Structure 1
Amino acid sequence: MLKNYFKIAWRNILRNKFRTAIHVLGLSIGISICFLIFNVVFHAHSFDKFHPDGDRIFRVTTQSIYRGNIYPNPGVPFPLGEQIEEEISGIEESTHIYTLSETIIGIPSRDTNLGRQKGVLLASEDFFKVFPREWVIGSEDQALVKPNSTVLSEETAKSYFPDLSPEEIIGQEIVYFNQDSISAVVTGIVKTYPENSDLEFGSFVSMSSIETMKNKSRFNIDSWDAVTSNSQLFVKIPENVDPSSLESEFPAMVSKYIEMEGDDERTHAMQPISEVHFTDALYLNQPANRLILNGLMILGAIILVLACLNFINLETAHAINRAKEVGIRKTLGGNRAQLTNQFLSETFVIVLVATVISFGLVEILKVLSKDYLPEGFQVNYFSWVNLGFLLAFSILLTFLAGIYPALILGKYDPQRALKGERTQTGKFSFGIFLRKNLTVIQFTCSIAFVIMVLVVNSQLRFMSQQEMGFDKEAVMYVSTPFRDELNRVETFKERLSQESFVRGVSFTDDLVSSNSYSSVEVELAVDSTTQNLEVQNKLIDSAFVAVNGVKIIAGKNISNTADQVLVNNAFVKKYGFANPEEAVGQSFYYDGITRVIQGVTNDFHSLSLRSEIKPLLMVYEPEYSSLISVKLEKGSDIRMAKEKMDQLYKEMYPLESSEFKFLDEVIAKFYEDDQKLRNVMGFSSFLAILISCLGLFGLSSFTIAQRTKEIGIRKVLGATITQVLVLISREYVLLIGIAFAIASGIAWFFANQFLSIYAFKINMPYGLFVISGLFILIVCLTIVGLHAFNASQTNPAKVLKDE
């Protein structure tokens, strides 16, 4: 019986090639989108799910409330990482890690410098007890016990010592330099995790090595106040222990070591290891954004639903042509269940063909979206997970797309069908009602997508045209080692200044505009009262204003002394000064020094346009600055200038691998996510329109074919081609009008949500709503009009000769 179902199904599919092609194309687009999104979501959820007893491993996080502001942090104070088992009961194992930024690697035995590399981690001796690894050589019990010990991953060991065996690598010395140096001996080699993990570091250096460093104070090893995301703590709790019971012990510990003022508060929470990748992942990987993943799933569902609606719409319309087939089958003894199974089997075959074709579409989508996919993302079509997904998905899709048309076909009355009665006698037809509503739903999605694309594009254009308050053109920058020798920095600045293509050189802690935000508290006496205000701060020098084209609107520039500062106009307004001139000369207390406001600058955008312009304090503190910005002369050869400056940088810092970059590229990256959103929405709107038009093309060709006799009679009675076109098209104009009304409400809601994240934004562009609706209407009328025009050109004598 089953074989017979599929044999007949295949014959029916081949008999209706045009309709089948529309079904296969629409469904393959939906399946490919859903399959790719499934793999992206599965990839994000696969991180650190494989650790033994992973459900009992948690990361301790910190939340600080200071002056009403909330500061979440994935890190903990350094002392907590070392004393957690003494302070909190019910912990089976714990490990404290400290992630290092790019670290210079040296191999003394080979007299080689491997440059700066990622993946160096300071780890406590119990690290491999919490996160077990397979050992190539060495053991977890002894590898990180002694200071100046390091464990390498197998991949890292081969890159450091390509010609040595694991036994020969043990005992080799490696020098790690990151503001300070650690000379460590290799005590073990572990295999790389075959699964996805945020803990895939290359070098694990014993945490106790900090005690041998000259500048160990920078780690704040005794400070309970300092919290940094570099210092992270993972704990493993016993079975049947509620993590909230451990969280309840933290307040007592905090009050023991930290004295909080007023409403300030410090709390710690237990975060499951499986959640690390979705929040503040360790710096080796970009964290996955649950909001984006949920959005992708919704997007995939919309595209798939549109494809299913196409199938249902077209099949219910064509069901009338199979009425006699149903009548004959029922007369010969077929029951409704058998007929339903027959039509579902046809749907299943179409879904299978669409699934096979979708594999090719997935590869195309991977190429088109390579910049949007996670690093290291792969699609294994024949993994058990993907095979299971495709099988379950095909069955579900067959049911969703095919059950209603199958039920419609299965319930036809054989007597009426064999008599040729194809329409029901009542005035109301549920099939026609359903097809109209499905058409409305399809074009509602299409119009909403188009509106959102236009809104996002308009906001991006607005931001690109917005005055930033500084000159971003021909400004290049490079980072120097943090807290480098100031003499070397001054020498480098001097050598750069001597070049003919350089107009100015500035030494700061940050770019004039960036996504990083640093704040300080300022105590200022105004009108015999003292005001404490939290403000944004930047560390600058006297060249900062000229290099970045910032304007001083009152007072004058600083002269590279610690007691002179610049503030912006927002600072002046925040403190209540009547005008910028009144603020000049005012003194205040900050960071142990009395400072004087030397000048006031214009309100430039030190952050992206998502943020309002904040009160800004600019101070001279060169010891904490590490960024050199260079303003090039107009008309300079940019390529030649970059090559020359990179050469000077390499001569001054031979161990560094940084290069000069352009400031305007950094500004452009502020809105990289928005550009990706626009591109994704644009691609989605294209697919939505394509699928909707495919359905409309097939549906209109069928429905107009059913009305050829009506069109012929009207032409015989004197109707013009224009009147025929208006007759056929007016129904679709009404449907698009209803779709536009619904889509406008949906698009307004999401567009309003999108624009609300910007402090500087466009007004709601309602004109674009109308343009979107007219665009879809024109596309729809073009498709319907072509079919109607072809039908109207048919000779009425041919159509009516059998009457």
Structure 2
Amino acid sequence: MIKNYLKIAWRNVRKQLFYSSLNIFGLSLGLASCLLITLYLVEELSYDHFFENSERIYRVDADIKFGGPEMKLAVSSDPMAFTLKKDYPQVEAATRIRENGSYLVRKSEATENLTEALVVFADSTFFDVFSIPMVSGNPAKALTEPNTLVLSERNAEKYFGKENPVGQTLLLDNDKIYRVTGVMQNIPANSHLSSLNMLLSMASREESRSNNWGGHNFNTYIRLSPETDAQQFDKNFDTILDNYVGPYVKGAMGGTTLEDLEKAGNFLKYHLIPLTKIHLHSDRVAELSVNGNIQYVYIFSIVAIFLLLIACINFMNLATARSASRAREVGVRKVLGSKRSALVAQFLTESLLLSYLSLVLALLAAFALMPLFNQLAGKDITLPVQNPGFWLLLLLTGGIVGILAGSYPAFFLSGFQAIKVLKGRLVLEGKGGFLRNSLVVFQFVISVMLIVGTLIIYRQLNFIQAKSLGYSKDQVVLIENAYALGTQTEVFKQEILSQGYAESATMSDYLPTPSSRSDNMIFPEGQPIQDKGMSMQNWRVDEDYAKTLGIQVVEGRFFSKEFPSDSSAIVLNEEAVRMFGFDDPIGKKLVTNTGPQDSSQPAYTVIGVVKDFHFESLHSPIGPLNMILGNSPGKFAFRLNASESGATIKKAEALWKRMAPGQPFEYRFMDQDFDKTYRAEQRIGRIFITFALLSILIACLGLFGLAAFTAEHRTKEIGVRKVLGASVATIVAMLSGDFLKLILIAILIATPISWYIMDQWLQDFAYKITIQWWMFLLAGMLSILISLLTVSYQSIKAALMNPVKSLRSE
């Protein structure tokens, strides 16, 4: 019986090759898109799950407000980890990671340095918490001694080739010798720790065992016992505040207590976040990687479901469009004794055959498109073809899609009455029409929402690119690792400027792009710290900083070599002036770090105010910032003459190689750093736009199917109208008008839904576009245009048909 069903199904597929091809194309496109999105979502949801006991590992986060805006930190204080381990038996293990930026690294006997972008210090207990297998070395002892390090496999090969690195040494920043004590396996890409390739022993840092409860610099992780409830454990942080933080604050701030700070509207809170939620649920200061966003997981999950539903709806519409041609077949089968269940089985078999054919094409398409998709998404995803569960899931998906897509046509077609069909008196109008029309409305509700979403995402990304940042990022080139020049940094700077290729230059590690950050406590001299104190960014810059970056001074002046007293001067941004409440800030005295009773702390004199500029992502509002004159030789920034940029960079490289032989010359343009800040949004935007276009394409196939159905069962009506004098334009307008009504209904439904969804998405940006009425109008007009273009072929074809042929059978 099944063999007979398959044989007949294959014959029908070949007989109706055009409709079958449309069905297979639509389903394969929907399945391929759904498969790619699903693999992306599985990758996003799998982060850090591979660690042993991952469900019991947590990071300690901090929320701090001190005068300025609230800071949400992915780090906590120095003694937190081992205080928790000491005081609470529920904590089985604890460890800390201290990010330390980039290092110059080479073998001790080598002459050429390589740049290691991210080097961290880690406690000896790192491998107790994170189950990363060691290729060589003892994980329990690898990081116990000062000046030791552990490399990843890729870094071991990078520096030592095929040699065993354990016991050998590396020279860091040309003056620090570290001995390699272990090689660990590469941390998988689906971990927020994946960029860790070099772990230095925490014992190498003097601050590693300090009692500084005020500094927050350490990513702190703990593993709780199986029976411990994390939410209940969070309450223990109140005790930590009372027993440790409170006494520290009182001693450091001249008698100011936590209660005093809280009365002034300040607070310090600690809480745990599960390791497996960090990637999608955390976007804090001092994250160890660029994390994802759970909102995008929800959005793409819905898009994947919609793509599959649209493809199934297409199948239904295309199947019912052929109902008239299958009606006599159904009638004959019923007269010959076929039961309705047998007919349903036959039609479902056809549906399943088309579904599995589409699945095969979808797999081939996914294989072919995977490199392009990975480039689009910034991932390295592969099809898990060696996993038997993957193939089982595909088989189940093919069956579910086939039954879902074929169930309505099967019951619809098998329900025809034999006597009416064979007498030629079958009336299709109204039979299933409401459901078909509803499905088309549903398709175009999705299409309109996706068009609106595409417009808003595109405009928001353009808004970010074009927004005035308060500084000029164009034609500014950044040269990394300026400290590699040693005592010749100023000579290098002046040599570049003397050539006339660069307009100005500055040297600082503090730039309004992803770079070093330094928070500091600051308050007006003689004022109570709990009332007037404020935590803000504190940057060390040179005299040419504002000129090079195009930062505008709105009051007073910037630092100058003509004023030796500027060593005790400070420059604020406008937001800091507003938050201090200064009417006339010039000349005001400010103190940092400790209370006014501590005379060892210098008082800085405000000499200038700069116009607010964005030094954080546009996801965050501009916060308070101060700048002091100081040496911070992390990067050179040169503002180049537009016509001479290539020559200047070549000159700088040649000069660098002469003055710093063996040190890598690495440069990039500042606008590249800016783009990097929003790379995640750009990728998500491109993925969204791509699948929005695919959704619209698949929806158009469904509309094409409904147009074919309508034209087919209204053939005789069209013939009568033409005989009575109706023009081609009149008939095309009549047929298109039916679809236009459906599209207008879809626009009315989609408008408020898409407004709400996109408004929620925009809330993630502190600076964003305003959703305007014309966006919905444009989306509606595009939907109408797309639908009219889709149905015009069938409408014109039906209108041009010879009425003699359609009426001959009457």
TM-score class normalised by the smaller sequence:
0.7 to 0.9
CA deviations over 1:540-587 (Å, ceiling 9, x no partner): 322122222333333233225232233344444555555xxx433333
Task: Tell me which residue corresponds to 2:452.
Answer: 451
How far is 1:739 from its partner?
A: 1.5
CA contact (8 A) 2:68 2:624 kept: no
Task: Tell me which residue corresponds to 1:659.
Answer: 666
Shift in alpha-carbon separation, 1:747–1:11, aligned structure 2, 3 A: same
SS at match of 2:407: helix
From 171, 175, 188, the equivalent of 2:170 is 175
Pairwise mapping of residues 650-689 of structure 1 onto structure 2 (< 5 A)?
650-654=657-661, 656-657=663-664, 659-689=666-696
SS at match of 1:396: helix
CA deviations over 1:368-405 (Å, ceiling 9, x no partner): 33333344322233422421321222122122212222
Task: Tell me which residue corresponds to 1:217.
Answer: 206
Equivalent-residue separation in structure 2 for 1:288 and 1:432 (angstroms):
44
Pairwise mapping of residues 489-508 of structure 1 onto structure 2 (< 5 A)?
489-508=489-508
Task: Tell me which residue corresponds to 2:406.
Answer: 402
How far is 1:105 from its partner?
A: 3.1
- In the alignment, structure 1 residue 228 sits paired with structure 2 residue 217: yes
Shift in alpha-carbon separation, 1:523–1:239, aligned structure 2, 3 A: closer
Task: Tell me which residue corresponds to 1:562.
Answer: 567
How far is 1:641 from its partner?
A: 1.0
The residue type paired with residue 640 of structure 2 is L
Equivalent-residue separation in structure 1 for 2:526 and 2:241 (angstroms):
36
Deviates more, 1:734-743 or 1:59-68: 59-68
The residue type paired with residue 500 of structure 2 is S
How far is 1:31 from its partner?
A: 0.7
Task: Tell me which residue corresponds to 1:3.
Answer: 3
Pairwise mapping of residues 576-595 of structure 1 onto structure 2 (< 5 A)?
576=581, 582-591=584-593, 592-595=601-604
> Structure 1-normalised TM-score?
0.87
Task: Tell me which residue corresponds to 1:161.
Answer: 160
Gaps of 5+ in 1: 211-215
Shift in alpha-carbon separation, 1:743–1:63, aligned structure 2, 3 A: same
Q: Percent identity?
A: 28
Equivalent-residue separation in structure 1 for 2:68 and 2:102 (angstroms):
35
Pairwise mapping of residues 775-786 of structure 1 onto structure 2 (< 5 A)?
775-786=782-793
Equivalent-residue separation in structure 2 for 1:744 and 1:586 (angstroms):
54
Equivalent-residue separation in structure 1 for 2:687 and 2:229 (angstroms):
42
Equivalent-residue separation in structure 1 for 2:134 and 2:522 (angstroms):
53
SS at match of 1:223: coil
- In the alignment, structure 1 residue 240 sits paired with structure 2 residue 227: yes
Task: Tell me which residue corresponds to 1:26.
Answer: 26
SS at match of 1:719: coil
CA contact (8 A) 2:57 2:221 kept: no
CA deviations over 1:116-137 (Å, ceiling 9, x no partner): 2357554444444444455555
From 308, 311, 315, the equivalent of 2:312 is 308
CA contact (8 A) 2:146 2:202 kept: yes
Pairwise mapping of residues 99-178 of structure 1 onto structure 2 (< 5 A)?
99-108=99-108, 110-111=109-110, 113=112, 115-117=114-116, 122-132=121-131, 134=133, 136-164=135-163, 166=164, 169-170=165-166, 172-177=167-172
CA contact (8 A) 1:646 1:660 kept: no
How far is 1:620 from its partner?
A: 1.6
From 594, 600, 605, the equivalent of 2:609 is 600
Deviates more, 1:342-351 or 1:549-558: 549-558
CA contact (8 A) 1:105 1:177 kept: yes
Deviates more, 1:123-132 or 1:467-476: 123-132
CA contact (8 A) 1:105 1:174 kept: no
Equivalent-residue separation in structure 2 for 1:504 and 1:11 (angstroms):
77
- In the alignment, structure 1 residue 49 sits paired with structure 2 residue 54: no
From 720, 726, 736, the equivalent of 1:719 is 726
Equivalent-residue separation in structure 1 for 2:31 and 2:290 (angstroms):
27
From 259, 266, 280, the equivalent of 1:278 is 280
- In the alignment, structure 1 residue 731 sits paired with structure 2 residue 738: yes
The residue type paired with residue 253 of structure 1 is I
The residue type paired with residue 161 of structure 1 is F
The residue type paired with residue 473 of structure 1 is D
CA contact (8 A) 2:453 2:754 kept: yes
How far is 1:350 from its partner?
A: 0.8
Task: Tell me which residue corresponds to 1:213.
Answer: none
Task: Tell me which residue corresponds to 2:751.
Answer: 744
Task: Tell me which residue corresponds to 1:690.
Answer: 697
CA deviations over 1:222-257 (Å, ceiling 9, x no partner): 32222224x43332x444343445444343234222
CA contact (8 A) 2:113 2:663 kept: no
CA contact (8 A) 2:445 2:746 kept: yes
From 705, 709, 712, the equivalent of 2:716 is 709
CA deviations over 1:189-236 (Å, ceiling 9, x no partner): 45556895555654555443x2xxxxx33546332222224x43332x
How far is 1:720 from its partner?
A: 1.8
Shift in alpha-carbon separation, 1:361–1:222, aligned structure 2, 3 A: same
CA contact (8 A) 1:78 1:227 kept: yes
SS at match of 1:550: coil
From 327, 334, 338, the equivalent of 2:338 is 334
Equivalent-residue separation in structure 2 for 1:111 and 1:752 (angstroms):
56
- In the alignment, structure 1 residue 630 sits paired with structure 2 residue 638: yes
Task: Tell me which residue corresponds to 2:252.
Answer: none
Pairwise mapping of residues 485-564 of structure 1 onto structure 2 (< 5 A)?
487-512=487-512, 520-524=520-524, 531-559=532-560, 561-564=566-569
Task: Tell me which residue corresponds to 1:16.
Answer: 16
Gaps of 5+ in 2: 250-257, 594-600
How far is 1:344 from its partner?
A: 1.6
Shift in alpha-carbon separation, 1:146–1:598, aligned structure 2, 3 A: closer
The residue type paired with residue 779 of structure 1 is I
The residue type paired with residue 368 of structure 1 is L
From 241, 245, 267, the equivalent of 1:258 is 245
Equivalent-residue separation in structure 2 for 1:520 and 1:44 (angstroms):
35
From 172, 179, 182, the equivalent of 1:184 is 179
The residue type paired with residue 667 of structure 2 is F
How far is 1:73 from its partner?
A: 3.2
How far is 1:433 from its partner?
A: 0.9
From 357, 362, 385, the equivalent of 2:361 is 357
Equivalent-residue separation in structure 2 for 1:468 and 1:666 (angstroms):
14
Equivalent-residue separation in structure 2 for 1:452 and 1:116 (angstroms):
41
Equivalent-residue separation in structure 1 for 2:658 and 2:321 (angstroms):
76
CA RMSD of aligned residues (A): 3.5
> Structure 2-normalised TM-score?
0.87
Deviates more, 1:401-410 or 1:531-540: 531-540
Deviates more, 1:21-30 or 1:735-744: 735-744
CA contact (8 A) 1:184 1:205 kept: no
From 775, 779, 802, the equivalent of 1:768 is 775
Say how many residue pairs are matched.
Answer: 780
SS at match of 2:554: strand
- In the alignment, structure 1 residue 85 sits paired with structure 2 residue 51: no
SS at match of 1:369: helix
Shift in alpha-carbon separation, 1:556–1:517, aligned structure 2, 3 A: same
SS at match of 1:631: strand
Shift in alpha-carbon separation, 1:279–1:757, aligned structure 2, 3 A: closer
Task: Tell me which residue corresponds to 2:628.
Answer: 619
The residue type paired with residue 788 of structure 1 is S
